[in-house]
């Protein structure tokens, strides 16, 4: 049973670190203007500008905030849902500008995310939510 706990912890924290570091890079290193500038090629598509602005801001902050939430294990499922939307946005966007693109960075994140959503919640014991549940009972 300990193996289940370790695997759930490792997968959650690893995915959290991956997204947190991406979010830190986007929000604090590039800055949101830099992120938006990297989204400029999408202005040549059928997408309205507001959707491009939304995608730039949403993906940046969702990666930052939800990555941190996954690491500590708070609001885990909501964080996973928000990050699933990030992966959908990224996949759709890259597909618009480059129909044949390297999907490897999306696939590994998607597999970890899906794994975390389908494993029994009891496996993921080393998280803040488990401590909160224990105090309530």
What CA–CA distance (Å, rounded) separates 49 from 52? 5
Over residues 12-43, the pLDDT tens digits come to 999 999 999 999 999 999 999 999 999 888 88
Please count the structural domains in the chain: 1
Over residues 68-119, the pLDDT tens digits come to 999 999 999 999 999 999 999 999 988 887 777 778 889 999 999 999 999 9
- Give this prediction's pTM: 0.92
The domain in which residue 117 lies consists of: 2-136
Tell which residue, 116, 21, 106, has the closest CA to residue 60: 21
What CA–CA distance (Å, rounded) separates 90 from 45? 15
């Amino acid at each position: 049973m300990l193996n289940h706990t370790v695997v759930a912890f490792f997968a959650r924290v690893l995915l959290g670190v991956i997204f947190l570091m991406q979010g830190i890079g986007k929000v604090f290193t590039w800055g949101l203007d830099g992120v938006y500038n990297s989204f400029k090629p999408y202005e040549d598509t059928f997408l309205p500008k507001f959707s491009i602005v939304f995608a730039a801001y949403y993906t940046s902050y969702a990666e930052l905030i939800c990555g941190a939430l996954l690491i500590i294990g708070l609001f885990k499922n909501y964080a996973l849902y928000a990050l699933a939307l990030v992966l959908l946005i990224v996949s759709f966007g890259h597909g618009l500008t480059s129909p044949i693109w390297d999907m490897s960075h999306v696939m590994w994140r998607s597999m970890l995310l899906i794994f975390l959503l389908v494993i029994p919640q009891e496996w993921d014991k080393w998280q803040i939510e488990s401590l909160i549940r224990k105090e309530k009972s």
